[in-house]
Amino acid sequence: MSFRSQGALRAAAVAALTLGLVPAAAAAPKGAPWRIPTAVKTLPNGLIVVVSEDHSAPTFGLCIVYRIGFRLEPKGRTGFAHLFEHMMFQGTPNAPKGTYDRVIEGGGGINNGSTRYDYTNYIVSAPVSALEPVLWLEADRMKTLDFSEKNLSNQKEVVKEEIRVNVQNRPYGIFYWTDVAGTAFDKWENAHDGYGSFADLDAATVPDVKTFFESYYGPNNAVLALVGDISAEEAFAKVEKYFGAIPARPAPPKPDVDEKANTKERTLSQTDPLANVPAVAVGWKLPSRGTKDDVPAAVLASLLAGGDASRLYLGLVKGRELLLGVEGGVNWPLGDPWTYEGPTLLTFFGLYKPDTTAKDVVAAIDEEIAKIAKGGVPAAELARTKTKMVSDLYSQLEMPLDRSVFLSLAQLFTGDPASVNGIPARIEAVTSADLARVASTYLTVANRTVVDRRPAPAPSPDAAPAGK
């Protein structure tokens, strides 16, 4: 869930700061694998710093990621991770509200933040000349915030308005995430709505917010990744200059969020007065990252729904014309197969034609899955899918800002930022037999969740309110 769009940020960064980038590592000998340079240092206070040099342009991308996401927020505090993302932009005693944006944008940079299941991150892209002011600002808000009642009240209303706009008053809302996850998962940590309930948001007090900050926003619960036109040695020195004196804080215990596959299909039927055509979302539970099946599942999802050359698009949109469109993937729509830690879903979503049914759509998807589970996939189709995935990955890693996000999360989830260099080889190693195994193991009827959302007549404006 991108509350401040990272996609838009990336586009702006490309246009404004990093046109014509060629990775520094691209100078490797012909035939040698392209590798991202990485250097890692842990400060005495526990902050892990990752640096990747890229001298192709006088810019940098910075990402600070905190290990606090939707599924890590405490019960009774739904939406706190997201609320806190907003609070981080409301100023500090040393840098009042507006200072952060004014300094970064005045220095030619852009910034953003986002909240996901397993983390919250804050990102900046700017000319390298602005690095020290940016580091000062980021360190300042890691120390403390302006925990005023006014700021909290304002941001609670901002978040509630986001819920109204994005969930309650938009066709389909985001049911393909919130309702599928809420139906598929058993544990509260995985199933609850990351936007938060109005009741929990309204109940939040300034002491609650201070406690949340002290629990999750310490340097020992964070990773800082810096990519750009600076040496690793100089980067480490600058980060330590601004962050080194921030004391570590006791971190709360990490909850057990693992879940097993479901043993019986789960379905949910809904009506939507704002929708013009029906829609269906289908999801299957996948285990936490780190199994032998995580990359094959990503390849399988891409083969089935990764663009206009995918099986579901060609078969159900263009061929049988059951769907008006299809999209989805592993950890969709909140990210990609490389940026999650706990259990996730492989989800497909599509608008379907009024003269068909969700049952027809799901049956057609089942047919495609059954073909793969029984006979695998042709070598040429598998090769095309893997080539596209590797190409997309390289495109992301080429950009300093995107690379900083990748590296920070790789460090957070695997303990090794250089593990991103192994992803292309892991993709290339996936076989037809791997896809057949994943399809038959996870993409089963018993492990499936289906949410059908159909248009409903909008209430008459002259209708009397309920109960009157």
Q: Please, what are the domains in the chain?
A: 6-243 (3.30.830.10), 266-455 (3.30.830.10)
pLDDT score at 27: 40
Q: How do strand 327-330 and strand 279-286 relate by DSSP bridges? A: unpaired
What is the tens place of the pLDDT at every residue in 311-349? 999 999 999 999 999 999 999 999 999 999 999 999 999
> 442 with 346: CB under 8 angstroms?
yes
- Average the pLDDT over each of 74-78, 255-259, 261-265, 381-385 and give the range with the smallest value: 74-78
- What percent of the chain is predicted at pLDDT more than 70? 91
Q: How many residues does the chain have?
A: 468
Q: Which position has the token pair 């299957």?
A: 284
Q: What single string gives the DSSP state of each residue in 341-410?
A: -S-EEEEEEEEB-TTS-HHHHHHHHHHHHHHHHHH---HHHHHHHHHHHHHHHHHHHHSHHHHHHHHHHH
Q: Name the band, by pLDDT with cuts 50, 70 and 90, for residue 33.
A: confident
Backbone phi, psi, residue 183, to 5°: -90, -40
User: What would the mean pLDDT of 209-230 be, rounded to a whole number?
Assistant: 96
Other C-beta atoms lying within 10 Å of the C-beta of residue 205: 10
pLDDT score at 460: 64
User: What would the mean pLDDT of 460-466 be, rounded to a whole number?
Assistant: 54
Q: What single string gives the DSSP state of each residue in 189-255?
A: HHHS-TT--HHHHHH--HHHHHHHHHHH-SGGGEEEEEEESS-HHHHHHHHHHHHTTSPP-PPPPPP
> 70 with 194: CB under 8 angstroms?
yes
How far, in Å, CA of 293 to CA of 405, rounded? 23
What is the tens place of the pLDDT at every residue in 102-159? 999 998 999 999 999 999 999 999 999 999 999 999 999 999 999 999 999 999 999 9
How far, in Å, CA of 275 to CA of 59, rounded? 44
The pLDDT of residue 216 is above 50: yes
pLDDT score at 8: 36
The pLDDT of residue 61 is above 90: yes
pLDDT score at 251: 83
Amino acid letter, 456: A
Query: Given CA atoms 380, 386, 390, 396 in this order, what sign does their dihedral have?
Result: positive
- β-strand partners of 40: 50
User: What would the mean pLDDT of 185-192 be, rounded to a whole number?
Assistant: 96
pLDDT score at 458: 62
pLDDT score at 76: 86
pLDDT score at 21: 29
**Average model confidence (pLDDT) for the chain?**
91
Q: What is the DSSP letter of 24?
A: G
Task: Using CB atoms within 10 Å of the CB of residue 133, give its burial: 0 to 12 exposed, 13 to 18 middle, 19+ buried.
Answer: middle
The pLDDT of residue 4 is above 80: no
Taking the whole predicted model, whether its pTM rises above 0.95 is answered as: no
What is the tens place of the pLDDT at every residue in 402-460? 999 999 999 999 999 999 999 999 999 999 999 999 999 999 999 999 999 999 876 66
264, 297, 302, 305, 385 from 309: Cα distances, Å: 32, 18, 10, 8, 9
How far, in Å, CA of 207 to CA of 193, rounded? 23
The pLDDT of residue 252 is above 90: no
Q: Name the band, by pLDDT with cuts 50, 70 and 90, for residue 16.
A: very low
Other C-beta atoms lying within 10 Å of the C-beta of residue 96: 11
Burial string for 44-74 (b: 16+ CB within 10 Å, else e) reads ebbbbbbbbbbebbebbbbbbbbbbbbbbbe
pLDDT score at 28: 42
Q: Which position has the token pair 């009240």?
A: 153
User: What would the mean pLDDT of 263-287 be, rounded to a whole number?
Assistant: 97
pLDDT score at 457: 77
pLDDT score at 462: 59
Q: Which position has the token pair 């879903």?
A: 345
